[in-house]
Structure 1
């Protein structure tokens, strides 16, 4: 029986920590050699905006340059220059690896707000912010949405071979009552990207059962957690009551990717070299995870075979918030085998 080839890959957090061009190329090589198809670059978050940007006045010509690394003198943060990103994009294209840029909103905006404050002042930035959450953009303000679109357009030009654009849309404040405002915002960004010939991707945790019918079906969902991994049991239960599960998204006609935060999230820390965490993660993936396990380590709601076929693929996500004491080469050397294991297991279970 014909089986659709899965589109598996890596999400690399280049906002919270810096990776050199050479190390990013090593990840691309590993993906290409392991049957992977994409590198999802998470370059914007509260901590930093990891790319050169004219709009945000983060430019290579005004940066402090040392050992080929560009540092913003106002923020002290490192970023990839346009020339470096072109080199990465050309290399990925030659290896048949799609780059997927992620510019997240309405939350995870502080890196952008910081740069905008340096350029335009606090009053301008406040005019874009949500009245309810200081680290979120105002999704009901047409000027705020237009600003996000302008920044997206700048990013699109830097990724000439990409077919998809990830808009983030995770971990923001909403209620069931005002959720229609979020759906309208996401649909607007999706229409904007469609006009540029790009598919829209987003995280799953902003999608609730009540408003699924109003959401653009062409949006692709990267599913990381049913309940956002909340610590409080009551909060977890509440989220599971209102949020859409992976099976419900598939049933509603959405394309989904498995980014399971239990098996497929890895957060390197200063003890990486001696902890054995990576070896454990490799064994855990090889023994216990497959494409149908989407809700943490829960096996009670594993996807049935016919729905597993509708999962487009999977991705390992390497987050950077606890790895600043490590070199990027160290992170790569301790995550390469895990990436290979996820690629091989995802492909194997999709063809069984």
Structure 2
């Protein structure tokens, strides 16, 4: 359990991140940035790294990071989710950093992590054809030896921040098995096509690899176990983001219920609105407990039970965020359904994150399999 001083550190971190995002990612900025071709503000991204150091918060100090853990990173993702931050934070800090650290490839870490920590390198991970649960059987890209390096071929339908990433960490199948490769964003033979998605605050792209040069990360054919581990860490980060966004939806609904006058009284005094807000609170607090527990499990040296904790967190946070986003819109009534109000932005984010890396039903089935046999490495 966190000590009292650790809780104070986490509170200080939360205050710093929240204050930064209030200045750099208010609603007006989100609406402006989400319409740009890049989908994020490079100056804000560099400030997140340079001023706050949160891009590399879970990176060891020897590679320029803060040497913190998932509990600290979860705080960052909560605040980013609340603000609907338009930035490649999940792709870089939630996916790429854990994959690199899990690989054990110190040469690759020394080469790539300092740039990520400094904010000069945006990275993402391609686990399979789309943003679906990790499963070695769904890896569609293939890699072959070519001289001293490798070449990657195939296509991927959906890649998180694939249009802007400077480095792509690509899971591909070789003769030895599942391996991970680093591909430069400007590598010859790589075609990147931005996609128009439901959530306009987060970007994805379709990628095609036409015999693209790649660098092997870790041992050839040995990537499947640590990619499974990094996938679970990404689930925890995403769940924390969902909890932060769900809390913001609850806050918006409660604030409106207190101030919207109808029939001479605040609508929050009506029983139906009271029950709706109470149900939102119960769902959000339950999801927060699950996400905090998963983050604590992730920080244990042995990492035992991480798969179970991560799926519980993702399931609970997905349901809570979706409920909170819809109920926030309903509480606001007609104005909540308009483009001018921010409620619909949270609904869009709630639906896409609900499906990303596995729907609640998918994770319920995964939990059933894991509980039946904890030794199973199921997606």
TM-score by length of 2: 0.26
Instruction: Tell me which of the two structures has the higher relative contact order, counting C-alpha pairs closer than 8 angstroms and 6 or more residues apart.
Output: 1
- Structure exhibiting the larger radius of gyration computed from Cα positions: 2
Higher helix content, 1 or 2: 2
